[in-house]
Structure 1
Amino acid sequence: MTPARRSLLKLLAAAPVATAPLAVPPARASAAASAEIPADPTSGIVKPLPPELFTLRGTNAETRLSAFRDTGFHTPTDRFFVRNHTSTPRIDPDTWGLTVWGSGLRGGPVRFTLADLRALPAVSRDVAIECAGNGRSYFTSQQGETVAGTAWTLGAIGVARWRGARLADVLRRAGIGSHAVDVLPRGLDGEYVTAGVNLGRVRRPLPVAKALDDVIVAYEMNGAPLPPDHGFPARLVVPSWIGIASIKWLGDIEVGDRPLHSPWNTDYYRLFGPGQPPEGSAPLTRQTIKSAFDLDPGATFAPRRHQHLTGRSWSGRAPVVRVEVSTDGGAHWRPAHLKDPARRGSWVRWSVPWQPGRGGSTELLARATDAAGTTQPARTPHNTQGYLFDAVVRVPVTIG
């Protein structure tokens, strides 16, 4: 346990979690708002989770990499990974409302209904949502290092077309002032309890500069209303940033005239470990660079038969402009064909032909370079919570 975690848990154990003033009670999910029953009661996830598409990880569901192979640029909603701290709430859209409040407004709190959001100018954006711990398991399996957290491979990511209102328009309609510093969105999922301490509902602040830039309050995903597991009736979509910033099931947004804090930017989602200060790094923002093949580790290929390897690469810093692939464990590299134009906040699909030799085993590797000049390294510096793994992943396969 890090020093920051120890101090935070002591603080939270001694005092209640901060909430909105009594004049602005937080919105609540209705337990009887929907007849939908979780497909997997142990996970609390509503949608079906067939094993050929997902790997269950507690309250989370990771998309199997092979499930991407026959998809297009957008991840089908039924294959999109699920990251939940507790379980998916069922919310009545007719009684739901989003309350914007706080010292950073020029006036009092403002409540938006779903109809109010839909009445604002709508935008559609192709954006990747990716957990900060995506790739975490490779710290252990590939680098031999111990880390805490869900043992994701590389399937805690998906790209969807999100439609909604600009968060900037919502904040301006609510009367955000020039003195505002941070906004703190909070979800309507259940309060998160860890180590016997109630951390409250999931919430994480955004600086005003980001909130007024490219963030949207989404109410549609891939041309349909948000499904329950992905934030119905409204969620944030924060391009290029770690997934925790894209709060699901929005209930309220505090606008502060000073920096705002929560466990999700103090104890979690910072880098702790070698080379970091005792309180950890600055709160994590942008995602890192990664590549993944559209196949599961251990796949088998027939010898001397032409294959078409496919995959996708992405970077939170800048669009991916080059991908190289090795089919002999990194001894030789060749460029992959990019199937999509370079885009910020999303991924690019790629392909490369391959004719395996005689039977045996090998490792497939893919490494990306983005427009900022960042190339995936051979190793990611260790951090105790296993965030932002960006090293080239070695994928073992069998020929025979």
Structure 2
Amino acid sequence: MNATRTSRRTVVKAAALGAAVVTTGAPGAAPGFAEPATAPAGPILKPLPEKYFYSYGTNAETRWDAVSWARYGTEQSRLFVRNHTSTPVIDPKTYSLAIHGSGLRDPRGADQPVRLTLAQLKRIGRTYRTAVHECTGNGRSYFASQQGQTVSGTAWKLGAVGAVTWEGVRLADVLRHVGISPDAVDVLPTGLDAPYVDKGVDYGPVRRPLPIAKALDDALLVWGANGEPLLPDHGFPLRLVVPGWIGIASIKWLGSLEVSDTALTSPWNTKWYRMTGGDYPTDSPPLTVLPVKSAWELPEVATLPRGGGKLLHGRAWSGAGRIARVEVSTDGGTRWKRATLLEHGQAWSRFWFRWPGASPGEHTLMARATDVAGRTQPLVTPLNSNGYFFDAVVRHRVLVK
């Protein structure tokens, strides 16, 4: 496969259509890896209008006040983007997934992988799954603004999340098609994005091991979202999706899978995406299942009528299962009332509450969700240095006029 340059016009057109152009491995490159493409349109290819997104360079966050209450799922055009570097541009015609490792029934080295094209993967099986997709740092800014604590990382509000109906094939079916050993322990998916360099250290392309039990449970290899091909920013032509788990587990632009009979590691489960600092022990395990959260579909400081009667709505979600209930407080947490759930959704649940009105001035609106596993949002999230898993009830400022 030969590396190919593309024009800005071609890249932008591909992003708009959900197609992609070319990023392929240079001669002699390791199987499953590719030379990163130059992305002339910037680190993110799709349009990011200010009325829909907050932009953070390589990342972009959905604005909750721009979410359509009537639509359950999140369109790809409105879905947040989390990139470590820039979105690569990959040619689906020359793309193939490389699978190797000691955990295969017939072990293979990285230089002699089993290769599967998109067409071959689609012949193995096809399934659909609606699930929440969320960045581990979603809500990070509230450590500072609500708890007065300093953490590192992108200062997400609550918009680094979405609900997507994914189309793909079960990873379990692919692994069984290739043949796995009963001694398999971990699967290491690796992306085709450019190597991530931080403070002069090259950590390589994004990759994070997945226990074989989760891989064989509900993980998917995905080529579509909401009835359309994946957009380049969301993993085209193929990505991993791990329902219920932190976003970093769902590796985009999937290039290779290593199936191993021993435990695997990467910086993304040893250096990052673990709890460090605060009161957490130094041997805290890698993060997996997403916490329970909720968000109002309102501007950061919402203006509400003094007389009341306005219908307010939001969404609640959890990595552990469906939402059981949502409670609302309009007085800063002194009293709580049950909100009405529109559905006990497979991904998230929409809820609504009729604002009773209040005296003029600033007030605090709060929503507190509980999932079917019995987990309820706390009022305070314990500090960790990277600002992961902010699951506390967010104190949403409203101005009554």
- Fold match by TM threshold 0.5: yes
2:297 corresponds to: 294
Cα deviations across residues 273-316 of structure 1 (Å, max 9, x unaligned)?
133223x4100110101110011211111221421110001111
Any residues of structure 2 matched to 1:105-120 within 5 Å, and which? 105-107=104-106, 108=108, 109-120=113-124
Alpha-carbon contact 1:30-1:91 (below 8 Å) kept: no
1:96 corresponds to: 95
Any residues of structure 2 matched to 1:154-233 within 5 Å, and which? 154-233=158-237
1:27 corresponds to: 33
One-letter amino acid matched to 1:57: Y
One-letter amino acid matched to 1:105: L
Alpha-carbon contact 1:29-1:90 (below 8 Å) kept: no
SS in structure 2 at match of 1:358: coil
One-letter amino acid matched to 1:330: G
2:8 corresponds to: none
Q: Does 1:122 align with 2:126?
A: yes
Cα deviations across residues 23-69 of structure 1 (Å, max 9, x unaligned)?
9523315738xxx852xx3xx10110000100011210000111214
**Deviation, structure 1 residue 220:** 0.4
CA distance in 1, matches of 2:357, 2:324: 27
1:383 corresponds to: 384
One-letter amino acid matched to 2:298: L
CA distance in 2, matches of 1:350, 1:395: 16
Alpha-carbon contact 2:124-2:177 (below 8 Å) kept: no
Alpha-carbon contact 1:27-1:96 (below 8 Å) kept: no
Alpha-carbon contact 2:31-2:98 (below 8 Å) kept: no
CA change 1:268–1:175 in 2 (3 A) is: same
One-letter amino acid matched to 1:31: A
2:19 corresponds to: none
Alpha-carbon contact 1:322-1:370 (below 8 Å) kept: yes
1:373 corresponds to: 374
**Deviation, structure 1 residue 256:** 0.8
**Deviation, structure 1 residue 70:** 3.7
Q: 1:311 aligns with which of 293, 309, 314?
A: 314
CA distance in 2, matches of 1:299, 1:113: 49
CA distance in 2, matches of 1:226, 1:259: 31
CA distance in 2, matches of 1:26, 1:195: 26
Q: Does 1:394 align with 2:398?
A: no
Alpha-carbon contact 2:36-2:194 (below 8 Å) kept: no
1:146 corresponds to: 150
2:281 corresponds to: 277
Alpha-carbon contact 2:84-2:196 (below 8 Å) kept: yes
SS in structure 1 at match of 2:82: coil
**Deviation, structure 1 residue 71:** 4.7
CA distance in 2, matches of 1:52, 1:124: 30
CA distance in 2, matches of 1:234, 1:117: 10
One-letter amino acid matched to 1:348: S
CA distance in 1, matches of 2:123, 2:35: 23
RMSD of aligned alpha carbons: 1.5
CA distance in 2, matches of 1:378, 1:352: 20
One-letter amino acid matched to 1:360: G
One-letter amino acid matched to 1:324: E
SS in structure 1 at match of 2:81: coil
Cα deviations across residues 308-355 of structure 1 (Å, max 9, x unaligned)?
110001111221110001112112211111111243xx2111001113
Alpha-carbon contact 1:27-1:97 (below 8 Å) kept: no
Q: Does 1:256 align with 2:260?
A: yes
Structure 1 runs, 4 residues or longer, greater than 6 Å off: none
The answer for unaligned runs of 5 or more in structure 2 is 1-27
CA change 1:54–1:332 in 2 (3 A) is: same
SS in structure 2 at match of 1:292: strand
SS in structure 2 at match of 1:299: strand
Alpha-carbon contact 1:69-1:295 (below 8 Å) kept: no
CA change 1:135–1:378 in 2 (3 A) is: same
Alpha-carbon contact 2:172-2:215 (below 8 Å) kept: yes
CA distance in 2, matches of 1:224, 1:150: 29
Alpha-carbon contact 1:186-1:253 (below 8 Å) kept: yes
Q: Does 1:240 align with 2:244?
A: yes
Alpha-carbon contact 1:30-1:92 (below 8 Å) kept: no
CA distance in 1, matches of 2:356, 2:285: 46
CA distance in 2, matches of 1:384, 1:69: 34
TM-score by length of 2: 0.89
CA distance in 2, matches of 1:229, 1:318: 27
* Seq. identity, %: 54
2:78 corresponds to: 79
SS in structure 2 at match of 1:265: helix
Alpha-carbon contact 2:36-2:193 (below 8 Å) kept: no
CA change 1:350–1:334 in 2 (3 A) is: same
CA change 1:30–1:133 in 2 (3 A) is: closer
CA distance in 1, matches of 2:342, 2:40: 39
One-letter amino acid matched to 2:268: W
1:49 corresponds to: 48
Alpha-carbon contact 2:223-2:237 (below 8 Å) kept: yes
CA distance in 2, matches of 1:106, 1:23: 25
Q: 2:336 aligns with which of 315, 320, 333?
A: 333
The answer for unaligned runs of 5 or more in structure 1 is 1-21
